[in-house]
Amino acid sequence: MAVSNIISDCLDALLHPSARYDALASARHRAFIAPRLLGSLAAFAAFPIYLAVRGAPAALEVAAFAWLIAPILLSYFLSRTGRYESAHVLSSLALAGLIMVVTITTGGIESFAAVWLVVVPLEAALSASRRVVAFASALALSCAIALIAIGHFDMLPPSMANAGSNVVLMAFGVTSATLYAAGLAFGAESLARISVALLYDEEDRYRLLARNMSDVISRHSRNGAVQFISPAVETLLGTTASRLSGHGLFDRVHVADRPAFLTALSDAGRGEARSVEFRVRRDLPRDERGRSAAVDFIWLEMRCRPLETANGKTAADETEVVAVMRDVTDRKNQEQALELARAEAGRADAAKSRFLATMSHELRTPLNAIIGFSEMIVQEDALMIGAARRKEYAQLINDSGQHLLSVVNGILDMSKMESGNFEITPEPFAPRPALLNCCNLLALKARDNDIDLVTRAPEDLPQIHGDPRAFRQIVLNLVSNAIKFSERGGTVTVSAAVDGQRLTLRVSDTGVGISEDDLKRLGDPFFQAGKTYQRRHEGTGLGLSIVKSLVGLHGGEINVQSRIDQGTTVTVTLPLASPQQGPNNIATLNPPSPPAGQSQDYQVKKSA
């Protein structure tokens, strides 16, 4: 074992670098070098014995032995240059040369050595090169023909072998040729075994790759039909690869993405590499009853390019496409989330700008009267303003100042709610008197606008636990809104009722109504439905947003139902019992998520 290891190591050292890392090439090189070196060395070892038996050698014998150096030179040539085919050609030439010399001097075609010509092409077979085999065969054949021709024209030198030893020599020639051929056959068999083993190794490696790679590799015909798809697709789509072949994959592609999918494949078929992203239906694990769950799509990214055929060119008409697919659902989801966040940020930014613009407008309007009238009083002489006028202007300045104060207070309330500093003080109180009181306050305004204000509150309305100041503000804001947004001759109905453990307050008008788009934004600070420059109604747009926060603070709900030109109904429900203490006690513009089962809280419902 140790000796063979040493020989093996020596052989490895002899291999040309180009063959060292290619298992098959190194096996071939070894198969070339090993027998030649060993044969030559054995021959040299046998030379002294031969001399001892035969006595002084003839010149021919010396030449024949000297010829045995040739394999060593050939091994050296291969070891240096790595040119396997050339080494085989040289080897064939050397062998054929030796055979020719021996044959010609021992009787031509009838010589014992002539049978060795058969070995020449056999040896070349190990080269695994058709050209080398053809060359060696031609060489052997021409050698045989030359021998026959030489014999025929009687040009042979006198045979050096004596007739008596002919039989022995013939036996030696046939036996040695057979043995060598047998050795070659074993070498060939061993090389074949090695190459099969290597093939298996390679296949194992690819199988390992295919099984453990999350990317899917597929082969498509030009029309997109799947001809092969790697098993990685099974974990991706939850179905077997065989069910995806043909049009099985296409059938799962999202209808909206099918054109892009097919275009990419057909472009790739024309020779252009393409990348496309599309959605594919995935089979989810089935439930107990064997039905699959809801339809689920995942995003795949597919890079496809024309399939190169074995000879390195793409066949012109039968172009196939090879594609690599990868699950990009997570990235897609992130992109979508990012897009949503960006849109949300944009909306928030726009809302902020709108808020500032409206705030500026609402502050400037009363300031205009204040500054204008006071300037007029300053210039009373130039403008010939009398005492009565002066007093009137002072009153107007005061009115405007009061209005300005209410705007500022509204803004302050809003910012308190926004920063979470607005607190309510719950206590038991009777809602009916509070409601009637508010309606009385607004009756004058309703009459001025020629609007019928109807209040429906049952006498037996129970006490509720809440902040009476906040309750009054809710009612005042809602009812004054309803009056403000009603046409002359309209009706505003305020009703209160108890429904289980909740008080329902409903304010309906026959006014302008609110469009669906505006309904969504209703309650945003300063937002008033309609176009910016086309506001038809006074007000800061703060009322409903304050109501929303106050209702949320009481653990109640607010719903707005409206149709353009048909009126609006705002429904507020407040719990009769005390609102929970804790974080709910602080109002914010974005109230915390309502408890489960009350998901409709704060949500503005669209009209039916």
Partner 1 sequence: MAKTVLIVEDNELNMKLFRDLLEAHGYQTSGTSNGYEALDLVRKLRPDLILMDIQLPQVSGLEVTRWIKDDPELRSIPVVAVTAFAMKGDEERIREGGCEAYLSKPISVGKFIETVRRFIG
Q: Which residues bind partner 1 (CB under 8 A)?
A: 356-357, 360-362, 364-373, 375-376, 379, 383-385, 389, 396, 399-400, 531-537
Phi-psi map region of 436: left, alpha, beta (phi>0 left; psi -120 to 50 alpha): alpha
Nearer to partner 1, 278 or 485 (CB): 485
Label each residue of 446-458 as H, E or C.
HHHCCCEEEEECC
- Minimal distance in Å, beta carbon 352 to partner 1? 12
Nearer to partner 1, 374 or 571 (CB): 374
Chain mean position to CA 134: 55
| Cα distance between residue 505 and residue 550, in whole Å | 14
Q: Provide the residue type at 123 as one letter.
A: E
| Cα distance between residue 384 and residue 390, in whole Å | 10
Is the alpha carbon torsion for 384, 389, 391, 394 positive or negative? negative
- Minimal distance in Å, beta carbon 452 to partner 1? 21
- Minimal distance in Å, beta carbon 383 to partner 1? 4
Cβ–Cβ under 8 Å, residues 385 and 376: yes
Largest CA-CA distance found in the chain, in angstroms, rounded: 166
The strand pair at 226-229 and 216-220 is best described as antiparallel
Structure tokens at 282: 């995935």
- Minimal distance in Å, beta carbon 529 to partner 1? 13
Return the C-alpha torsion angle 113, 118, 121, 123, nearest 10.
Answer: -70
Nearer to partner 1, 362 or 601 (CB): 362
Nearer to partner 1, 289 or 531 (CB): 531
Nearer to partner 1, 247 or 391 (CB): 391
* Half-sphere exposure in the Cβ direction for 599 (13 Å, CA): 2
Nearer to partner 1, 204 or 450 (CB): 450
- Minimal distance in Å, beta carbon 356 to partner 1? 7
Nearer to partner 1, 58 or 350 (CB): 350
- Minimal distance in Å, beta carbon 381 to partner 1? 11
Nearer to partner 1, 258 or 389 (CB): 389
- Minimal distance in Å, beta carbon 283 to partner 1? 55
Phi, psi at 563, each rounded to 5°:
-135, 140
- Minimal distance in Å, beta carbon 354 to partner 1? 10
